[in-house]
Amino acid sequence: MEGEDMKVNKQAVEEILEEIKPAKLIAATKYVDEKAIEELEKCGCLYYGENRVQPFLDKYEKYHGQGHWHFIGTLQKNKVKYIIDKVELIHSVNSYHLIDELEKQAMKRNMKVHILLQVNIAKEESKHGFNEEEMNDVMAYVNGCSSLIVDGLMMMAPNIEVEETRIYFKKTKELLERLKEAYPHYPLNELSMGMSQDYKIALEEGATMVRIGRALFEEE
């Protein structure tokens, strides 16, 4: 598997878990196998974020711990049915087509699906997500989906100087607060933002979940 030469840096994991409290650490486990995930669990990290469906399914079958799976990568419509009953939260809901498919597959299984809506606050062409200006329309649309529960928002900051990312985290938090006021029947408590390079600023601006990968691992 890609990344088999990566091992868990136990000290880093424990320090980050303590540092980010009360936010949740979503370990980005794209490049490690189920053995490394079991090591993460031993360190107290219980949330694992996967980016790709097939490698996730392989790990899901082999992992026998008590942790929680999230999907944090771009999710194609035709892959929804394979993961919908295996992950607790889908961070990257970024299109009406995906919303429709999630609702369809959830109704087939008579289940509720927890999602985060991905927003493209910086309006970068290279990134997925809804624009801030369309979020009221998106929320109104999801309102018609009885099986979907919007837990909050997810975003990725631009690849710029770390301190300059602050404004985008701040805007995402402000957007969440506006939506929470307008749609009180949804939880809208979660802000998934911040990665290895910028999670500290994301936390200062209200992140409740940080998606960290490389800072948790070291090469063997």
Q: Please write the tens of the pLDDT for every residue from 118-132.
A: 999 999 988 999 999
Residue 173 confidence (pLDDT): 98
Question: Is 167 in a helix, a strand, or coil?
Answer: helix
| pLDDT over 90 (residue 201) | yes
Q: Please write the tens of the pLDDT for every residue from 75-106.
A: 999 999 999 999 999 999 999 999 999 999 99
For residue 219, name the pLDDT band (cuts at 50, 70, 90).
confident
Q: What is the DSSP string of 22-35?
A: TSEEEEE-TTS-HH
Q: Tell me which of 104 and 162 has the higher pLDDT.
A: 104
Residue 4 confidence (pLDDT): 56
| pLDDT over 90 (residue 2) | no
To the nearest whole number, what is the mean pLDDT of the chain?
Answer: 95
Structure tokens at 209: 């979940």
What CATH number does domain 6-219 carry, 3.20.20.10, 3.40.50.2300, 3.40.50.1100, 3.30.365.10?
Answer: 3.20.20.10
| pLDDT over 50 (residue 30) | yes
Average pLDDT over residues 193-214: 97
Give yes or no for a contact between 173 and 191, defined as CB atoms under 8 angstroms apart: yes
Average pLDDT over residues 141-164: 95
Average pLDDT over residues 121-148: 95
| pLDDT over 90 (residue 3) | no
Average pLDDT over residues 54-69: 97
pTM of the model: 0.95
